[in-house]
Amino acid sequence: MKEPLLNIKDLKVSFFNNSGEVKVIRGVSFDLQKGEVLGVVGESGSGKSVTSMSIIKLLKGTGQITNGEIIYKGEDIVKKSEKEMMKIRGNDIAMIFQDPMTSLNPVFTVGSQISDVIRRHQGLSKAKSREKAIEMLKMVGIPSPEERYSNYPHEFSGGMRQRAIIAMALSCEPDLLIADEPTTALDVTIQAQILQLLMELKEKIDTSIILITHDLGVVANTCSRVIVMYGGLIMEEGTVDDIFYNPMHPYTRGLLQSLPKKNTEERQRLIPIKGNPPDLAKIVSGCPFKERCPHAMDICNKEPEYYYDGENHRAMCWLLDNSIKKGDESNGK
């Protein structure tokens, strides 16, 4: 088996406040192969964005990696200094965020911001950087890129701004692109176009992608593998087919039931997951989904292990343990 591009082992991240430590990531392990598109799905508070910020060591506020390794191209990112990380960010690993306005500076033209990134990371001359920036704007489908180069962000539509951000992120041809809710702020048609564009560029540039989203529908057509996160843990991991056609975890099944089905004329009853996403400060032990799970049992007060269906499909739920009597759904809350 080939060395993965990224291998995260037992990652734990905490934030610290006046009341003490809040464990936000509680032991996450997964890997990413070169050229792969991995979807990371979960509601807000699941830990998906904190996981991605850990990969580029840009945790906000008091966030700290308290355990684990993030092996990227054979080296542990956790041990890297800020100076070393500055070389990796943008060059090797790039990131796209949900709101393009927060990534673009309103007082500089879009083109100059892209050529700046190219100049800084690739050491090209001003003229060459400009040329490459125009090429990138063209590649992401911005019409009249030479003229648009001199526009300010407010002169771009939301969809065009996100395209410009993608151009900026991919301008240094990173090996890994982390896209955190890249289409959430956009309307549905533009969402589809941006996702399509990302997939086309992935082929051209041969970038691996981690696509973070709260929407399982978004991963269906774009990802090869999916991780479902909840309460700072991976609840289920598998191929897109595993997750959509053979979900093992009650939370994954809940997410799927709350998803509108395509290509059906029948009126559909969408079943939302009851309750609210977990308050990470309050999760002490056991399965983090137990407060909302219709199958919770006494044993769910203890953290479940992973159970496997085949080599690569795993889920963390006591229901998958054949030695436990499922009649005992006594709701051990």
- Contact residues for ligand SF4 (CB under 6 A)? 250, 287, 289-290, 293, 295-297, 300, 304, 317-319
Shortest approach of ligand SF4 to residue 273 CB, angstroms?
A: 11
CB of 247 to ligand SF4, least distance (A): 12
**Closest distance to ligand SF4 from the beta carbon of 326 (Å):** 9
CA nearest 286: which of 226, 325, 238, 331? 331
Q: Which is nearer to ligand SF4, 32 or 296 (CB)?
A: 296
CB 184 within 8 A of CB 205: no
Q: How far is the CB of 41 from ligand SF4 (least distance, A)?
A: 16
By beta-carbon proximity to ligand SF4, the closer residue of 87 and 326 is 326
DSSP annotation of 261 reads P
- What is the smallest separation between the CB atom of 117 and ligand SF4, expressed in angstroms? 43
Measured from the CB atom, the residue of 145 and 286 that comes closer to ligand SF4 is 286
Question: Cα–Cα distance between 304 and 231 in angstroms, integer?
Answer: 13
- Cβ proximity to ligand SF4: between 195 and 287 the closer is 287
In the complex, minimum distance from the CB of residue 63 to ligand SF4, in angstroms, rounded to a whole number = 26
Nearer to ligand SF4, 206 or 328 (CB): 328
Q: Is the Cα torsion angle 252, 255, 257, 260 positive or negative in sign?
A: negative
End-to-end alpha carbon distance in the chain: 43
Measured distance CA(236)–CA(251) in Å, rounded: 9
Q: Kind and range of the H or E element at 190?
A: helix 188-205
HEC secondary structure over 102-155: HHCCCCCCHHHHHHHHHHHHHCCCHHHHHHHHHHHHHHCCCCCHHHHCCCCHHH
Between 6 and 248, name the residue whose CB sits nearer to ligand SF4: 248
